[in-house]
Every structure is written in C-alpha cells, then in structure tokens.
Amino acid sequence: MDSKRIILAAHRGDRKLCPENTMPAFEAALKLGCDMIETDLHMTADGVLVIMHDRSTKRTAGVDRNIDEMTLAEVKELDAGALFSEEFRGTKVPTVQEFIDLIKDTDMMVNWELKDYPKYVGDERAFACADKLVEMIVANGLEKRSMLNSFSDRVLEHLYKKHGHRFPLHGQGIHNCPKTCDHAEIPEEEIYDWCCMYANDPKGGFNCLGYPENFAYCVQKGIKPCVCIADTVENYSRAIELGCRMFTSNDIYAADAVLRELGQR
C-alpha cells in the first residue's frame, strides 16, 4: 500500500477466464500471484455484504433485480456463472465473508469498491454499508491490506470523517477528468490517497495517458495515481513515467507478462 513497488490488481478477479467477482475468479488471481484483488460490494435487504459489480443482477446473473432489494437467500439463488460459460453454471454470488475466508491467510491486498451510492439507496444505507465493511475488515485483521474505493465522494468523505487515513482511500478521476457520481464538502485532494486516472470522455474510455496534467496534479498533491488501461508495454511504460503505482487489469495474464518485461515483478 505504500507504493514502494508497482501493484498488479486483478479487476474483479480473473475476469478473462472466469465470471467476474466470483470465487473461481478470485482463486485464479491468487494462483497467478497478483498483489491485489479489486472487488465490488453491495448490502442486501437483510444487511449482508455481497460481491457484485452492478446494483442490478441482470448483466451477470440474468435477473433484473437490485441487490439492495433482495435478501441474501434470494441472491444465493442466482447463477453468477452460466451467462459467462456453461463451465461455470451454478456458480454463486459470494458474500464478503466468503471472499475474506479465501484470502485471509494469504498476503493478498484488497481494493474494496463500495457500490451502494447515496443517490440510489440513500445516505443511511450507503454509509451503513461502508461502516459494516470496515467492521469486517477489522474483525478479520485486514486493516493493513485494505484500501476503500468508491465513485461516491460522499461515501469516501464519510469514511474520512470517521477514520481519517487509517485505510487508504481511493477516488475516481480528478482535476480535468472527474468521474465521481456526487461531491463531498471536503476537497477530494484531502480525502484521496489513491486515484484512478480517466480521460475526459463523456462516452467512457480509458485513454487517460493523454492527460499527463492529471498525473502531475496527483503527484503534486501526494495522491498515488493508478490506471486501468490496455495491457501493453507502451501503455505501462508511459503510465509509470507519469507516476502510476498500480495497474488494475482485466487481463491479469497479459498484465503480469508486461510488468515482468519491464522488470517490475
């Protein structure tokens, strides 16, 4: 977490060969030797933290319902693997505790992305989700291996007010290319320890390397830049030149090979 070495983070686990944010995807990231797993969480209607990227379960499980409106039992009825491939049919949506049990006795770091946003679920529920995650991190001894991440600056502000920089706080977009879904009262430069770089592209896209001023701004403010870009030697070399200290990859095998070629693993 101190950025003394370049971090390779598996984006939702190994999402190239496995269904994203599932136990097989996390197990594959562990097997390869990634430094970190980036994963996403929501809180069910009965207060259990589960792992899935979208609020709706339609894209990955084929059922158009919101996790925050489902009980854990209902979430566990979903098939999180069949839409990816027949090989993974029957794969369940994992709980945060199931994921923790997998990585607790390893040295794997975790980038926890809080996906319950105040604009959709309300302040009370969004902040309760964040607080419950912190409780679980502490109860399982993962404080030194966890960073907390969100597209909601208000969620990050809530965590900052309660915990300061006890856990590294990871923001999304900054300076000329903000990507947050809301805004905090405290300046993001005070809240963020890490920040993912983006391009100023209304349609999305990840050509963040065309905005070197954003990297420079982060470095000046003591914020560690990170990226999610195509895994090529050219891209990674340029990102490192600009100050990038973490690569979050959708193809951990290509990312690992590139970093090895660059002498960073």
Catalytic residue selected from 11, 42, 158, 170: 11
The answer to whether residue 158 is catalytic is no
Distances (CA, A) of 81 to 62, 119, 129: 10, 29, 25
H or E element at residue 174: strand 169-174
Q: Could you tell me which of 241, 112, 118 has the C-alpha nearest to residue 183? A: 118
H or E element at residue 146: strand 146-149
- Partners of 177 in the beta sheet? 174
Please tell me the distance from the alpha carbon of residue 67 to that of residue 140, in angstroms, as a whole number. Answer: 24
Catalytic residue selected from 53, 158, 170, 175: 53
Please tell me the distance from the alpha carbon of residue 249 to that of residue 224, in angstroms, as a whole number. Answer: 17
The answer to whether residue 163 is catalytic is no
Please tell me the distance from the alpha carbon of residue 169 to that of residue 166, in angstroms, as a whole number. Answer: 9
Cite the active site residues: 11, 53
